[in-house]
């Protein structure tokens, strides 16, 4: 039986990135696509329970059924598994995101929200992102890496409750040098809200900000991406800080 992929993203079905992912997956197996109806960037792990969600079929071909959902990327995963997958998916794919989900961006990402949700549900899952947020971003360098990573994960599987966060450097830097398995770099967004006045004299605040990362050791995703490598970070949904657990016990005993 063909492997079954469940595919989503947070940029919606119109995005070039998800179309690239679908075409890679169709070369390997059967595909269910459940994409959010609207751009859902920055929705992180949010989900919908206080109102119902809708699912609309877009197209149905042999081996590829496409739906859109008016919920979040996490909703896409939740509702698909129960109502729209003919069998348990072998692998969940999310992306390819237009824009970075490396480092601390993983926290805010709808693309990675879907991946972590799949992982919690016991499904193998990979999130793909390209460090170019433009609608016409060039995924041609990324595509063969997507295919080889997908084939490897299908073949070898992932440890339980571990997902992969894969990021691709800006294509303009030239051919990718290879794949680095690494840790999430420590960073933050330095926020800055612009305070403006609306036509009625009332203030509003609009988020700007710039990414600040001073943790670029060679074992980090930032280092890999800045040096032309594809970064792969194994991610967990266990937020326990094991490195500080004993310290906290001593401090607060």
Name which of residues 31 to 90 contact its own copies (CB under 8 A).
39, 41-50, 52-55, 74-75, 78-79, 81-83
- Candidates 184, 229, 230, 231: give the one binding its own copies (CB under 8 A): 184
Stretch in the footprint of its own copies (CB under 8 A) among 11-19, 85-93, 126-134, 238-246? 238-246
Question: Applying CB under 8 A, does 201 fall inside the site for its own copies?
Answer: no
Cross-strand partners of 57: 67
**Residue 2 interacts with its own copies (CB under 8 A): yes or no:** no
Candidate list 14, 88, 144, 193; residue touching its own copies; CB under 8 A: 193
Residue in 63, 122, 174, 178 binding its own copies, rule: CB under 8 A? 122
Q: Beta partners for 204?
A: 196
Window of 13-21, 25-33, 59-67, 189-197 that interacts with its own copies by CB under 8 A: 189-197
118 interacts with its own copies by CB under 8 A: no
For the bound state, the minimum distance from the C-beta of residue 65 to its own copies, rounded and expressed in Å, comes to 16
Q: Measured from the CB atom, is 26 or 211 closer to its own copies? A: 211
Annotate each residue in 143-162 with x if it binds its own copies (CB under 8 A) or - if it does not, as one string. Answer: ---------x---x-xx-xx
Is residue 98 within 8 A of residue 130, CB to CB? The reply is yes
State the burial class of residue 143 (Cβ atoms within 10 Å of its Cβ: 0-12, 13-18, 19+): middle
* 17 three-class SS: helix
| Segment near its own copies (CB under 8 A); pick from 21-29, 59-67, 92-100, 177-185 | 177-185
Contact assessment for residue 127 and residue 184, using Cβ atoms and an 8 Å cutoff: no
Residue 218 contacts its own copies per CB under 8 A: no
Please report whether residue 210 would count as binding its own copies according to CB under 8 A. Answer: no
Shortest distance (Å) from residue 151 CB to its own copies: 11
Strands 188-197 and 203-212, sheet pairing: antiparallel
**3 state SS of 40:** coil
The token pair at 184 is: 């999430």
Which of 121, 122, 104, 101 lies closest to 112, judged by CA?
101
CA dist 147 and 39 (Å) reads 25
Give the total of residues touching its own copies (CB under 8 A).
Answer: 77
Regarding 24 and contact with its own copies (CB under 8 A), the answer is no
97: left (phi over 0), alpha (psi -120 to 50) or beta: beta
Distance CA 224, CA 227 (A): 5
- Minimum gap (Å) between residue 45 Cβ and its own copies: 4
Element (H, E) at 180: strand 179-181
């Amino acid at each position: 039986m063909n492997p079954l992929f469940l595919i989503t993203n947070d940029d919606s079905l119109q995005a070039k990135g998800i179309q690239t992912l679908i075409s890679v997956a169709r070369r390997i197996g059967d595909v269910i696509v459940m994409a959010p109806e609207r751009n859902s960037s920055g929705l992180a792990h949010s989900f919908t329970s206080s109102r119902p969600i809708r699912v609309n079929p877009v197209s149905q071909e042999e081996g590829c059924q496409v739906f859109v959902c008016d919920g979040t990327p996490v909703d896409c995963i939740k509702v698909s598994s129960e109502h729209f997958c003919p069998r348990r998916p072998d692998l969940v794919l999310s992306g390819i995101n237009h824009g970075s989900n490396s480092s601390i961006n993983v926290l805010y990402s709808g693309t990675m929200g879907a991946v972590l949700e799949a992982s919690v549900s016991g499904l193998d899952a990979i999130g793909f992102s390209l460090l170019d947020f433009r609608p016409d971003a060039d995924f041609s360098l990324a595509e063969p890496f997507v295919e080889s990573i997908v084939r490897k994960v299908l073949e070898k599987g992932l440890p339980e409750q571990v997902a992969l966060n894969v990021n691709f450097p800006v294509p303009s830097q030239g051919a990718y040098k290879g794949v680095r398995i690494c840790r999430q770099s420590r960073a933050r967004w330095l926020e800055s809200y612009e305070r403006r006045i609306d036509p009625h004299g009332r203030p509003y605040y609009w988020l700007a900000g710039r990414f600040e990362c001073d943790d670029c050791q060679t074992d980090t995703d930032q280092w890999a991406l800045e040096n032309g490598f594809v970064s792969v970070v194994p991610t967990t949904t266990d937020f326990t800080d094991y490195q500080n657990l004993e310290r906290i016990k001593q401090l607060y005993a």
